[in-house]
Structure 1
Amino acid sequence: MALALPQLPGLHSLPAPEHPELVAAPVAEALAAWPGAEGVAVVEIDPDLADTAAMSEAYDVPMAAGANCVVVAGKREGEERVAACLVRADTRADVNHIVKRLLDVRKPSFLPLERAVAESGMEYGGITPLGLPAGWRLLVDSRVADIDVAVIGSGLRRSKLLVPGSLLVQLPRAEVVEGLAS
């Protein structure tokens, strides 16, 4: 039995795997390879409203329905360690404690914008946990699972993905972390 396509009022849901033109290339590849993709929708939005707060206000989507993906890096003994952290939009990733401990680095910091965009193949404001580079860890706050329909990036600023939180914690390579965000 196919999963119902996620919907939110005011947004027109399309099956994401059937619309690769609405997502970044690495995201389209990830959707094609992931069995859970049948439960993922894509919605077109105004690219000027891609930032979570602006999108939430313009489309009347509660912040608690959003999930943000931030990319963090740090070094230990000359080795760089990178992780994408997926947290509810109404929280913040605990970079200085939890992420630091999980990456086992001295000083974690957000990956510079230019590097995050270049290495992910995604646009700023659209970086998403689907289709991340193989060397990056994917840390997912356990509370993301509780979001009925999570609004996440699509890799592009002109669209968003709608994904049940219960599917996000099942993403390939996802490490579900209790208390990743506060």
Structure 2
Amino acid sequence: MTTATLGSLTWERAVDRPDLLADSTAAAIRAWAADDPQVAGAVLVAEIDPELADTAAMTEAYGVPLSASVNCVLVGGRRAGAEKVAAALVRATTRADVNNAVKRLLDVRKASFLPMDRATAESGMEYGGITPLGLPAGYRVLADAAVAADDAGSGGTVVIGSGLRRSKLSLPGALLVRAPGVEVVDGLALA
């Protein structure tokens, strides 16, 4: 069994711990690993206190660099009666440019965050654990180019949700932006 450390957390291969993943996340990682053998050893999971799932609390409690955390927010908008939904992935030290970049990419009149109850119901994931891995097929996944950057504080590793509040995933940012369906976007995030 592969283990690693980041902050004070001990990480194990996610493919070996589906009990720490939302069902759709586990399925997405298995499918991705079947297509790319690097994934099984590179996508890791660590159990955390679910009360510490929010980025700031997790960073403080476990010593994970804030710059390593990547937030996944679900955004939607409409044009001509058609709704478009996307996940926006940005470093936790930034915020998604919903009003300009996301709106333009979705080609909608107004983009806004999905309400929490809708986001969790449609994704099958828990609030505070939503991840780009395992989202519904119709969702676009937009990743700010900085997600792939080799951050000095984390050696290129990023921390994202697992679909559950009680765990987090870690993997190289450069690998995350190569996940199936991910679109890399320059300027998706604002400082």
Alignment of 1:78-117 (within 5 A): 78-117=81-120
* Unpaired runs of at least 5, structure 2: none
* Unpaired runs of at least 5, structure 1: none
**Aligned amino acid, residue 6 of structure 2:** L
**Displacement after TM superposition at 1:9 (Å):** 3.1
RMSD of the alignment, in Å? Answer: 1.1
- The answer (yes or no) to whether the contact 1:5–1:40 under 8 Å persists in 2 is no
Q: SS where residue 168 of structure 2 aligns? A: strand
Q: Which residue is equivalent to 1:43? A: 46
Q: Which residue is equivalent to 2:30? A: 32
**Distance in 2, Cα, partners of 1:44 & 1:180:** 30
Q: SS where residue 122 of structure 2 aligns? A: helix
Structure 1 residues 56 and 129: CA distance shift in structure 2, 3 A: same
Q: Which residue is equivalent to 2:64? A: 61
Q: Which residue is equivalent to 2:183? A: 175
Hey, which of these two has a bigger chunk of strand by percent? 2
**Aligned amino acid, residue 16 of structure 1:** A
**Displacement after TM superposition at 1:61 (Å):** 1.3
Q: Which residue is equivalent to 1:159? A: 167
Identity among equivalent pairs (%): 62
**Distance in 2, Cα, partners of 1:80 & 1:49:** 33
**Structure 1 residues 141-179: Cα deviation after superposition (integer angstroms, max 9, x where no partner):** 000001411110000000000111011110101100001
**Displacement after TM superposition at 1:5 (Å):** 5.9
Over 6 Å off, 4+ runs: none
Number of matched pairs: 179
